[in-house]
Amino acid sequence: MKSYSGKTIRTIGIERAKFQIGLINLVLILDVLLSFNPDIEFFSRYCSSIRKLILLF
């Protein structure tokens, strides 16, 4: 494995996967909140921006 700034590529992959899982969990929680109160405009914009972030990774 090549070293990349002191970390192996595998470690970076694991950290990225943890980050993605955290984002997905956040989106799921926000989706549940939105289902209870769908008229919150801010939350819907926030969810869509997080989904775009997930697609980037």
**Of 19 and 57, which is predicted with more confidence?**
19
Instruction: Report domain extents, the chain.
Output: 3-56
Neighbours of 19 (CB within 10 A): 13
User: Tokens 């697609």 sit at which residue?
Assistant: 55
Cα distances from 27 to residues 9, 34, 55, in angstroms, run 27, 10, 13
**What pLDDT score does 18 carry?**
87
pLDDT digits (tens, 9 = 90+) for 11-47: 878 888 888 888 888 878 877 777 776 666 666 777 6
**What pLDDT score does 3 carry?**
53
**Of 52 and 3, which is predicted with more confidence?**
52
33 residue type, one letter: L
In angstroms, how far is CA 17 from the centroid of its own chain? 9
**What pLDDT score does 38 carry?**
60
